[in-house]
Structure 1
Amino acid sequence: MSLLRPKKQPLLGIDISSTSVKLVELSQQGANYRVEAYAVEPLPINSVVEKNIADVEGVAATIKRALKKAGTRNKQCALAVASSAVISKNITLPASIKEADMEGQIQIEADQYIPYALEEVNLDFEVLGPTEGNPDTLDVLLVASRSENVEVRVGAADLAGIVPKVVDVESYATENAALLCSEQFPEEGQGKVIAVVDVGATMTGITVLEDGAITYTREQPFGGKLLTEDIMRRYGLSYDEAGLAKKEGQLPENYVPEVLEPFKDNMAQQVHRFLQFYFAASEHQTVDYILLAGGCASIPGIDEMIESRLGMPTGVANPFGRMSIASRVNAQRLGSDAPALMIACGLAMRSFD
């Protein structure tokens, strides 16, 4: 190892969801990672609607509070746009193409697949390598999102006083974090089909990995907000009071059988529906493992219920399972928040690309 090699500046992984800002900072020593800082900070109601930022100032103020809570001085970050706001396409180019000509050729190819003027989109690509079975062509992943999706997130980060170095896609960040959970999978996921189902507050997303690579993504409205609203109606609480009571377990005895169990049943049905969509779009009729992520994955017993209903091995995501944890980080709280931190963790992993 060269002592003169400049040390990479770690990036804060910042996930802006519909109800909160989640922040993770990692460091690396050799092949090992350490959690240096993390925070989860609630957003003002309706400042983000279905992953679209409606109140940039409100989001920026929440990022500032998350930075303070985490106790980090790092000012560089990685952000993500929603998978549903992105068009991705695998294209092939001649293997003989010169690097200088590649960008121009990709612009020409992109024009065929993107339903917007190219000046309205942010475009990126990654060369995946030679096409299987044809060494004369290269596989290239093309990714594009409307510029406004990127600019509004960058604007919120700028207002919060931090510098975005990477703008990723949520499904790719999930893929990064899922690979950290490989010890939970049969045969560490090698040659296996893993469905990562992220059930957040208002949106649920599925990312399917086949042998470690994304083959399918989908998002739909469904999430823990429905449970909070059930608690509000049942017990005459405000939305904030219901959310706090849910988090701290301060609810009457009839909460579990009459409110929580029906929600768990609904969640299991939603996971089943997502998998049916995937089976209809692929040649598979089962998956080797379901990895539950998002805040709702922390509901006690939800993994056992889904495994029993669907007949497929199911577990709760913890991307920090093999990591050491800095002394200032509350390990118990990190463990309970871990399933909701998948995207933020995957973004923080971009520090080590």
Structure 2
Amino acid sequence: MKLLSSKHQSLIGVDICATSVKLVDITRQQGVYHLKSYGIERLPPGIVVDKLIVDTEAAGDTIASLARQNRVAGNDAATAVSGSSVITKIIDMDATLSDVEREAQIRLDADQYIPYPLDEVNLDFEVLGPSVVDDTMVQVLLAASRSENVDQRVDALAFGGLKTKVMDIESHAIERAFQMMADNLPNMPELVAVIDIGHHQTTLYIAKNDKFIYSREQLFGGLQLTEAIQERYGLSYEEAMVNKHERMLPDDYYPEVLTPFMESTVQQITRSLQFYFSSSQYDHIDHIVLAGGSSSIPGLAGMIQQKLNIGVTVADPFINMTISPYIDSEQLAIDAPSLMAACGLALRSFN
């Protein structure tokens, strides 16, 4: 299973994360992308731990349930390993090498790039284009991940009745989805901070001219809000998660729990941006795009925009797509920011 495989027709995008499985089915009709269906189903605690799928069969049951609910046509799918479990490196290589020769050379030099034995990793490469330092060379993107990370996802999809045709890298999938909406951002920003607020971590991506040039992960996310709800109202983890998503909490929830969490989120984003500015040639960004499950919290985008004095957009990778009449558009608006990776994976059908 390669990490940068070529395109396949009609792939279902399947994103397996810490708390849920997300599925996206996109077709193309007369040159226009069409969101045929999508689904999100929560995973019981302990199925995915530290980005490793502990129980592939249970994850597979959730995938099978989503595939049934969405009546997906075919069983070919694309999924992804997360950024921190993938090593990527751009290297310069002789432009005259064939793919077979290039792979042999990479395997020969692998210990320079990969801190694991070759028999423990899935390795892939892709020629990006001419080298910037030498006309006789090309830039090659090298990607490697521990085989267990890849195999767990392949097994989970197999238990769910799907065949993994493409194993992608999560950041590449999010970048692909971001490019679907980039033209709709106000004032054509050159430098955009895409902030993906997940359950366990928040990832900052910096996009220049729609390409990701930087990423940084922070251990902060929706889990902190769930734990604050548990503590405040004496709920179990499951009860807190349900009440958070269904918005069934007492009147003091907004001022006493949600507002402090939102303020902490702003602080984390500010720190991440300052870290980026201190390590790059830039000292500002032109726009912020919020992604991930926590980004659709009412009032969060407005608070970030006010405190940082930068325009903020909540991610919607489906903004330029036609939408199936069977999809609840109001619910899609809430769910869209958390579907960036799954959308980007489904788009592998058309690369």
Report the AA paired with residue 271 of structure 1.
I
**Partner of 2:51 in structure 1?**
51
Matches within 5 A, 1:231-310: 231-310=229-308
- 1:8 shift after superposition: 6.0
Distance in 2 separating the partners of 1:215 and 1:183: 18
Which one is further off, 322-331 or 239-248? Answer: 239-248
Which one is further off, 91-100 or 51-60? Answer: 91-100
Matches within 5 A, 1:7-26: 9-26=9-26
- 1:260 shift after superposition: 0.6
Matches within 5 A, 1:130-149: 130-132=130-132, 134-149=134-149
- 1:248 shift after superposition: 2.3
Report the AA paired with residue 21 of structure 1.
V
Asked if the contact 1:186/1:288 (under 8 Å) is kept, the reply is: no
**Partner of 1:193 in structure 2?**
191
- 1:97 shift after superposition: 2.2
**Partner of 2:347 in structure 1?**
349
- 1:281 shift after superposition: 2.6
Q: Secondary structure at the match of 1:261?
A: helix
Could you state the TM-score of these two structures normalised by the residue count of structure 2? Answer: 0.94
**Partner of 2:110 in structure 1?**
110
**Partner of 1:151 in structure 2?**
151
Describe the superposition over 1:190-239 as per-residue Cα deviations: whole angstroms up to 9, x where unpaired.
xx121111111222112221222221122232111221221122122222
Q: Secondary structure at the match of 2:41?
A: strand
Aligned: 1:339 with 2:337: yes
**Partner of 2:208 in structure 1?**
210
Distance in 2 separating the partners of 1:316 and 1:242: 24
Q: Structure 1: any 5+ residue segments left out of the alignment?
A: 1-6
Asked if the contact 1:264/1:302 (under 8 Å) is kept, the reply is: yes
Report the AA paired with residue 78 of structure 2.
A
Report the AA paired with residue 39 of structure 2.
A
Report the AA paired with residue 268 of structure 1.
V
Q: Secondary structure at the match of 1:259?
A: helix
Asked if the contact 2:9/2:350 (under 8 Å) is kept, the reply is: no
**Partner of 2:128 in structure 1?**
128
**Partner of 2:173 in structure 1?**
173
Distance in 2 separating the partners of 1:10 and 1:254: 47
Distance in 1 separating the partners of 2:50 and 2:272: 18
Count, aligned residues: 345
Matches within 5 A, 1:53-92: 53-92=53-92
Asked if the contact 2:182/2:210 (under 8 Å) is kept, the reply is: no
Name the CA shift for 1:58/1:221 in 2 (closer, same or farther; >3 Å). Answer: farther
- 1:348 shift after superposition: 0.5
Asked if the contact 2:205/2:216 (under 8 Å) is kept, the reply is: yes
Q: Percent identity?
A: 46
Q: Secondary structure at the match of 1:145?
A: strand
**Partner of 2:220 in structure 1?**
222
- 1:186 shift after superposition: 4.4
Asked if the contact 2:63/2:160 (under 8 Å) is kept, the reply is: yes
Q: Secondary structure at the match of 1:308?
A: helix
Q: Secondary structure at the match of 1:134?
A: coil
Aligned: 1:98 with 2:98: yes
Describe the superposition over 1:43-63 as per-residue Cα deviations: whole angstroms up to 9, x where unpaired.
010111132111112211111
Asked if the contact 2:8/2:165 (under 8 Å) is kept, the reply is: no
Report the AA paired with residue 125 of structure 2.
F
Describe the superposition over 1:261-314 as per-residue Cα deviations: whole angstroms up to 9, x where unpaired.
000001111111222222233211221111100011000111111122222221
Distance in 2 separating the partners of 1:254 and 1:133: 60
